[in-house]
Amino acid sequence: TFDKLNTWYYLDAPKTVQPVLDIIRRQGTFEEVLGGLDEGNALFEARRCLSCGNCFECDNCYGVCPDNAVIKLGPGRRFRFNYDYCKGCGICVAECPCGAIRTEPETI
């Protein structure tokens, strides 16, 4: 969810303006009220996606882990955590821009 994102990594971007059918035409037609996006604008809007909860392999966790507990598995395979080395400091959680990492207290 949005509250788990690290928004510092994202730039503010204005919403793409879409053409809107004027009120007179709306009353006398079945045309779409809100116009669509051309290919360029659709790609721009898609790039605004924040990837909530989905790792996009930015390597932040890999780079900030002081214990080398994050293991890079290769392109498209994401990461694995070696819990024998992880001390649970939470830096990887704080630095993950999309909220894909979470920590849970250990049960004894």
Which pLDDT tens digit goes with each residue over 55-67?
Answer: 999 999 999 999 9
d(CA 6, CA 25): 44
d(CA 32, CA 84): 58
d(CA 55, CA 49): 12
Query: Which pLDDT score, from 0 to 100, does residue 44 have?
Result: 86
Q: Determine contact, residues 16/46, Cβ cutoff 8 Å.
A: no
In the chain the first and final C-alpha atoms are separated, in Å, by 29
- Return the SS3 of 78: strand
pLDDT > 90: percent of the chain: 51
d(CA 83, CA 69): 7
Q: Determine contact, residues 64/86, Cβ cutoff 8 Å.
A: no
pLDDT at 28 over 80: yes
Kindly indicate the confidence band of residue 1, based on its pLDDT and cuts at 50, 70 and 90.
Answer: low
Query: Which pLDDT score, from 0 to 100, does residue 51 have?
Result: 81
The arithmetic mean of pLDDT across residues 42-68, rounded, is: 90
